[in-house]
Each structure stands twice: as structure tokens, then as C-alpha cells.
């Protein structure tokens, strides 16, 4: 882990009521079943495990699902030493070793503001294709992050539910739970 790489990009997702989308014959890719956001505001840069854990827990609660129903997590995974360790600890605290965890920023760098939208789009794509993409360049897992299921190669899997996690500077934490549309 050599630290954060800044990327550039954009992503947009159309959110629409189910009835309206169905009536117009839209190609529905997935649905948002849960969301949580909070701000722990303790440090401008360093993440806070209590804030992250609470956000993840509340996202699952809002989705009305248990942690073992999540098939994979798109981790915030910025490749910073403390950020990754704190996020891995928070994931383990809530999920234990249940879902697969991948870091999509390894493909494009940290795009800052649009990273949540881009990672949601990529997660929907993985759901459609039945794969979980690996975290690129993850050659050696930090032992402090080894308690979770890192994805090191493409995994073929029927994905029903995914969690997208993002934690911004200033203590902003979000957890988005999406479900494959069936």
C-alpha cells in the first residue's frame, strides 16, 4: 500500500420510482434498499471507527437485512495506512468474515466527489455480469486488515445484495445498500 492515488471521473445514476420506471419500460438494473449517512467530525482526515461502524450498522438496519445477506462490499479503500486498517476493523466488527470485499479505487484512483456514484455503477455492472472484480495491485495484505475476505482474483458469483461504503474528509460516512433487480 503506497497511499492514495487521485483519479478523475464522473458518474450519474437515474433514480426513479418503480411504477414510473416500469410504466415507461425502463431497463431497471437494481434498487436501493438501504442508506445511512452520518458525520463523526472528530478529525479532518483520520477516519473514526465508531462513526464508520455506526453508519454501516444503520445502513443494514435501514435495508432491513442482516449482515450475512450482503454478498460483497465495495470498500472505500483509499490505500492509506490508517484508513484501510480502520475500515477493515469496522467491516469485521459488523460482518465478521462473511462478504467479499473489493476496492474499486484500485482501477481509477480516488475520484473524490463522484467515487460513490462510480462505485455504485460498477457494483451494478458486477451484479449484472455475476462477478466480483478484484482489488488491483493488492500483492500483500496488511496483517491488520487480514481478517476480512479480500478479493484477489475475479470471482464468479450470483450477487443479490451489495454494500457501497464511502468515508470522506471531515468525518462524512455513507453506506448504500443495493439489490439486484429481479
Whether the Cβ atoms of residue 169 and residue 44 lie closer than 8 Å to each other: yes
Percent of the chain surpassing pLDDT 70:
98
What is the C-alpha to C-alpha distance for residues 72 and 150, in angstroms, rounded to an integer? 10
Tell which residue, 110, 136, 135, has the closest CA to residue 9.
Answer: 110
**Bridge partners of 155?**
132
Residue scoring higher pLDDT (123 or 168): 123
Which residue intervals of 28-141 are DSSP H helices? 49-63, 81-95, 105-108, 115-129
Quote the CA–CA distance of 97 and 22 in Å, as a whole number. 37
The half-sphere exposure of 104 on its side-chain side, counting CA atoms within 13 A, is 26
When pLDDT is averaged across residues 77-106 and rounded to a whole number, the result is: 92
For residue 140, pLDDT beyond 80 = yes
Torsion, Cα of 48, 39, 100, 77 (10° steps) = -70
| Residue 8 φ/ψ, nearest 5 degrees | -135, 140
Q: Please give the residue that has the higher pLDDT: either 56 or 171.
A: 56
Higher-confidence residue of 5 and 88: namely 88
In this prediction, residue 182 has a pLDDT band, given cuts at 50, 70 and 90, of confident
In 3-state terms the chain splits into helix, strand, coil percentages (rounded to 5) of 35, 25, 45
Q: Which of 48-62, 99-113, 148-162 has the lowest mean pLDDT?
A: 99-113
Instruction: Judge contact between 1 and 84, C-beta under 8 A.
Output: yes
Domains of the chain: 34-180 (3.40.47.10)
- Report d(CA 103, CA 142) in Å as an integer: 14
Pick from 126, 108, 109: which is nearest to 4 by CA? 109
Model confidence at 57: pLDDT above 70: yes
pLDDT digits (tens, 9 = 90+) for 2-25: 677 889 999 999 999 999 999 999
* pTM of the full structure: 0.93
**1 has a pLDDT exceeding 60:** no
Please give the grid coordinates belonging to residue 138: 493488492
Amino acid at each position: 500500500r503506497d497511499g492514495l492515488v487521485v483519479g478523475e471521473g464522473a458518474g450519474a445514476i437515474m433514480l426513479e420510482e418503480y411504477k414510473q420506471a416500469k410504466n415507461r419500460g425502463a431497463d431497471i438494473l437494481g434498487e436501493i434498499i438501504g442508506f445511512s449517512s452520518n458525520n463523526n467530525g472528530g478529525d479532518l482526515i483520520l477516519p473514526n471507527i465508531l462513526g464508520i461502524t455506526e453508519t454501516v450498522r444503520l445502513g443494514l438496519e435501514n435495508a432491513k437485512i442482516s449482515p450475512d445477506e450482503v454478498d460483497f462490499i465495495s470498500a472505500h479503500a483509499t490505500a492509506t495506512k490508517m484508513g484501510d486498517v480502520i475500515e477493515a476493523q469496522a467491516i469485521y466488527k459488523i460482518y465478521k468474515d462473511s462478504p467479499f470485499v473489493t476496492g474499486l479505487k484500485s482501477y481509477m484512483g480516488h475520484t473524490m466527489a463522484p467515487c460513490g456514484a462510480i462505485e455504485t455503477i460498477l457494483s451494478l455492472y458486477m451484479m449484472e455480469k455475476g462477478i466480483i472484480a478484484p482489488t488491483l495491485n493488492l500483492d500483500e495484505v496488511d496483517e491488520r486488515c487480514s481478517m476480512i475476505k479480500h478479493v484477489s482474483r475475479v470471482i464468479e458469483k450470483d450477487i443479490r445484495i451489495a454494500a457501497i461504503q464511502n468515508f470522506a474528509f471531515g468525518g462524512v460516512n455513507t453506506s448504500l445498500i443495493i439489490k439486484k433487480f429481479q
